[in-house]
Amino acid sequence: MNRQFVVFPLADELYGIDIQQVMRIEKMLPLTRVPNAPPFVIGVCNLRGRVVPVIDLKRRLALPSRPNENAKIIISSIGSKVVGMTIDSTVDVSTIQTEEIEPSPALVTGIDTQFIQGVAKLSNRLLIILDVERILSVDQLNVLNDMG
């Protein structure tokens, strides 16, 4: 079976999100800051009449992040939640055989393994497949929020 992924670089690695979890990809939208939100929630935006929270994916994954005017927003929907995630630059769509996806090795990437669904080889590079549900999980956010 084939799965399709939206593939994009973050820091030095290549990341992928299952295309079924991606509603659309937008250019950076004007954001309104949400006071007292966790640092990776960078604001809310108006997505065609719908207010959507936007998180900085790099900060969420604890990767170094700095402002970037070429940033794009992946709009993702999980259940009834619609959330935007900022990424650095252009994206690609790649098809990967399900059996080529392996469970994530414990210490390969430097990002929290709970956010990783698995890894796969993509033209000699390692593709890290993100678990969007975990990334957007309110419980997770709350835990982090409580801690910090």
The pair phi, psi for residue 111, each rounded to 5°, is: -105, 160
Contact positions with other proteins (CB under 8 A) in 66-95: 80-81, 83
Residue from 12, 50, 67, 106 that binds other proteins (CB under 8 A)? 50
Residue from 44, 63, 71, 126 that binds other proteins (CB under 8 A)? 44
Residue 43's contacts (CB-CB under 8 Å, 6 or more residues apart) are 31, 32, 33, 34, 53, 54
Is the Cβ–Cβ distance between 83 and 5 less than 8 Å?
Answer: no
CB of 135 to other proteins, least distance (A): 12
Binding status of residue 138 toward other proteins by CB under 8 A = yes
DSSP code string of 81-128: EEEEEEESS--EEEEEEGGG-BPPPTTSSSS-GGGEEEEEEETTEEEE
Binding status of residue 53 toward other proteins by CB under 8 A = yes
Stretch binding other proteins (CB under 8 A), from 25-33, 60-68, 96-104, 113-121 = 25-33
CB of 47 to other proteins, least distance (A): 10
Single-letter amino acid code for the residue at 98 = T
Binding status of residue 148 toward other proteins by CB under 8 A = no
Contact residues for other proteins, defined by CB under 8 A: 30, 32-38, 41, 44-46, 49-51, 53, 80-81, 83, 138, 141-142, 145
